[in-house]
Amino acid sequence: MTVGTVTPDIASWPPLDDDKRGPGQQLLDWAADGDGPRLCLVRGAEGSGKSALLAWLLAGTVGRPGLTVHATVPSEGLTTETFAWELGRQLGYGPLSPDRLLDQVGADERPLLLLVPDLHRAGAGPADLPSAAPETLVAELLEPLLTVPHLRAAVEVGTSGLLATHGDVEVVEVVEAVGRGEGGSQGTAQASYAELVAAVPRTADGRPDWSRAPDAVRRRILDTALRTDDQGAAVRGLLADPGFLVHGSATALTAALADPRIPAPGRLREVWRRAAPELTAYHTDSAERAALLHAAAVDTDPDLTEYLRPLAGQHWWSTVWARRALPVSALALVPGGEERKLLASDPTGRLRTYDVGSGAPDEGASGLGTVGASASDGTASAIVRPASVRPRSIAPRDARSALLLDRSDALLPLVTEDDPTAAFALERIAEHHGSAALAEEESLVTALGSGGTQRPYAVVGDRGGTVHVWSLGEYQDVPHSCRVHQQPVTAVTCVDTADGLTLTFSAGADGSVRLWETSAEPMPVPVQQRHYRATALASADTSAGPVLAVAWSDGEVHLWHVFSGRVRVLPWLRGCDGLALTPEGLLVIAGSEGLSAVRLRLDVLWER
């Protein structure tokens, strides 16, 4: 919580009914008093206006300095895990497991203020499991959170005894006004499964049309099905309906699929587990939910993949292919050639090439794709390729040669023995930076990237924040260099545009991303500044103009239209260690779960 020097005046907040002014003033006084109890319980009967009071407090803080609510997590239907994901997102960490969230909150230097509506309605899944009871969320996450000294929380508990024994607690009692109540959802809450199904519109061929079902039905029908005495038929029917997977309650589905006793069709349980941290965010667009679920299903569940493909294809991004069998630690597009290729390294250092359009590996091909630890197997050998090399970045010159940044922070040339020109050029770059690092610690290489559609480039970033651009198509004795950052460089890329510009993008350890056009000075302000680390960059000159892709440590991938400054956030499902972007708008994402290719609809990408 951020507390001002004076207590906020309730008169400056949105107006309250007379019967709520007393509880409202008490809640506001508690929120502004950083020295009082760290827990405030908002109590009251059904329909008394408890949730509305928390919403009132939140609304009053918007745009006003002195009092900041850092997260508001409505808890109805949430389990420990889904609550942790949502709280992590709102605090800026991304969706985290409960244990990782507790570690992150403990390390966070901000005084934090949380609002937790509807704790007494938390829980989801089969009634005989602990996850169905709000007490489990309290014991597993809220109580540990409340031991963090710099965290305070206002929690709505209804008439329950949740958190009543916590210790020093402020209690705000909200009394229902005569003739008034929240109501609204009680009819749906008491409805049977058959009544809820009857409220779902039908398609022309008689199937449930979940896209037009009432929100309350979509939220409650799975939990109602779990309580139906029909030997699980209702639950199985919902889980087998891809339309319900796209439109139903993601938190309820997550809780149900966590129970191994519930049969799931195909490999749905595995697919859902992969997508759930993002599906449980507030994605109201059905096409985006379909795109997320489709991305998790590709290369795992063929039937679900094909069902979801048409709806996912309507979104501004959709997954084209995935290859999950082999983790990838470094990735780059191979310049030149009629067929676009990817060059990738796995964590053991094995290099392979892949077809960009399909993700198919080039088995048995010559060149970089088959360079092994020795030449005894009949493949091409390398001038520099000791068995201990583990590339973390790659800058290809062509299909047969590349510059590698090893995990030891050494630049190494990789070329075949019959290409002395490439060997001379790449060895010169490696020697230049190796000698500089020996002379000055600030010159130690920390990042390597590639780029260029007209001619290939290698971009090198160092510990001192300097970016160095080398042409790989012609010999350079020294690079074109400029100090762009005040912190070590963590990722780099470049793109040459149709009008002759060479745009270099770099990320620093301070969370900044900067643009440098190599014939001028770097931009005076960052393209973007975040509290996270940029893990990978890629750029391309597309039909929509130059585009920059930035992968962040919180799991987001940001897509920038460079000349207009417009940005779109792609909510990726897992961590990213490498990116490649084609001029046609195919974004390839690499990480510990292999490769995935995402088609970006450049014609609508930045539309709102």
Burial class (CB in 10 A: 0-12, 13-18, 19+), 411: buried
If you count them, how many residues does the chain have?
Answer: 608
Predicted pLDDT of residue 70? 95
Residue 263 pLDDT > 60, yes or no?
Answer: yes
Fold of 10-173: Rossmann fold (3.40.50)
The pLDDT tens digits of the residues spanning 486-495 come to: 999 999 999 9
Give 178's pLDDT tier (boundaries 50, 70, 90).
Answer: low
The pLDDT tens digits of the residues spanning 581-598 come to: 999 999 999 999 899 999
Q: For 187-198, give one letter per residue: b (16+ CB within 10 A) or e.
A: ebeebebeebbe
How do 594-600 and 586-591 pair as beta strands? antiparallel
CA 55, CA 73: separation in Å to the nearest integer?
A: 11
The pLDDT tens digits of the residues spanning 423-467 come to: 888 999 999 999 999 999 999 999 999 998 768 999 999 999 999
Pairwise pLDDT comparison (365 vs 254), residue with the higher score:
254
Q: For 120-155, give one letter per residue: b (16+ CB within 10 A) or e.
A: bbbbbbbeebebbebebbbebbbebbbeeeebbbbb
Residue-averaged pLDDT of the chain: 88
The pLDDT tens digits of the residues spanning 194-232 come to: 999 999 999 999 999 999 999 999 999 999 999 998 889
Residue 124 pLDDT > 80, yes or no?
Answer: yes
Residue 599: helix, strand or coil by DSSP? strand
Mean pLDDT of 258-267: 94
Mean pLDDT of 160-169: 91
Residue 419 pLDDT > 90, yes or no?
Answer: no
Give Cα 76 distance to the centre of its chain.
24
Do 10-173 and 322-600 show the same overall fold? no
Bridge partners (DSSP) listed for residue 323:
595
Backbone φ/ψ region at 457: left (φ over 0), alpha (ψ -120 to 50), beta: beta
How do 466-471 and 457-462 pair as beta strands? antiparallel
AA identity, residue 184? G
Beta strands in 377-437 (DSSP E): 391-398, 401-406, 411-415
Predicted pLDDT of residue 300? 95
* Residues 210, 245, 279: CA angle, nearest 5 degrees: 115
Mean pLDDT of 30-44: 92
The pLDDT tens digits of the residues spanning 299-322 come to: 999 999 999 999 999 999 999 999
Domain residue limits, the chain: 10-173, 198-315, 322-600
Helix runs in 227-376, H state only: 233-239, 242-247, 250-257, 268-279, 286-297, 302-312
CB-CB contact of 64 with 177 (8 Å): no
CATH H-level, domain 322-600: superfamily: YVTN repeat-like/Quinoprotein amine dehydrogenase (2.130.10.10)
Pairwise pLDDT comparison (223 vs 377), residue with the higher score:
223
